[in-house]
Amino acid sequence: MKFFIDTANIDEIKKGMEMGLVDGVTTNPSLLAKEKKDPQAVLQEILRTVPGPVSLEVISTASDGMCEEARKLASLGDNAVIKIPMTEEGIKAVRTLTNEGIKTNVTLIFQPIQALIAAKAGATYVSPFIGRLDDISQRGMDIVDDTCRIFFNYGFETEIIVASIRNPVHVLDAALVGADIATIPFNVLKQLMNHPLTDIGLERFLKDWQGIKG
């Protein structure tokens, strides 16, 4: 299972890389807005820093505009993946970009049939948003589970990025259902390694060791 980091913050990306937990990066307009810097410069630095795939999202809503933006973004680096929203216009753009050899990540997926349509259009990745579904009392992970089954049934190579992750249990469940990738915010990435019993156990070992020495 691959771990992507869901951030546009270069310090978080570098720290995640030091932990060995960054196989790729996903950004979106909201994450870029939080940085309060020139978005183009931020994206270029991320593309230079990370060897793996980096998702960059288009802003246009019409297919032609999406494709034009996507070509410019794709030229920023070989590892650029273009995030396209799951709309009728978006799916048209995915078909065109796939034919041109540009990698795409279809975003804002909230039901398995949307993922199937994106895969049929040739998407490299699909991003089901599980946290936002959980927020409105729908089981987000169910759509990931169903999407895994559909892709397996028909041998699609499109990879599933579990997105909108809010906590370590989301990552655990993504692994249990067999998702290819989880894109994880930095705070959750750090939480993955922690357990209070680990801290208590270590403290006791060190205290007992001090006892021997004393």
Asked if residue 124 binds ligand E4P (CB under 6 A), the reply is no
Q: Which of 69, 66, 67, 74 is nearest to 103 (CA)?
A: 74
Tell me if residue 2 is catalytic.
no
**Nearest 10 degrees: Cα torsion 74, 76, 80, 81:** -30
Asked if residue 63 binds ligand E4P (CB under 6 A), the reply is no
Q: Which of 3, 129, 151, 186 binds ligand E4P (CB under 6 A)?
A: 129
**Nearest 10 degrees: Cα torsion 143, 32, 41, 101:** 20
Residue 160 Cβ, how far from ligand E4P at the closest point, in Å? 12
- As beta bridge partners, residue 182 has 3, 162
Residue 69's CB: how many other CB atoms inside 10 A?
18
Residue 154's CB: how many other CB atoms inside 10 A?
10
Q: Which of 9, 96, 127, 158 binds ligand E4P (CB under 6 A)?
A: 127
Per DSSP, the three-state class of 135 is helix
HSE-CB for 22 with a 13 A CA cutoff: 28
Applying CB under 6 A, what is the total number of residues that bind ligand E4P? 11
Give the per-residue contact string, 17-56, with ligand E4P (x = CB under 6 A; - = no).
---------x-x----------------------------
Residue 183 Cβ, how far from ligand E4P at the closest point, in Å? 5
Asked if residue 143 binds ligand E4P (CB under 6 A), the reply is no
Q: Catalytic pick from 2, 83, 92, 103?
A: 83
Which residue's C-beta sits nearest to ligand E4P? 164
Binding positions for ligand E4P, rule: CB under 6 A: 6, 26, 28, 107, 127, 129, 131-132, 163-164, 183
The catalytic site residues sit at: 83
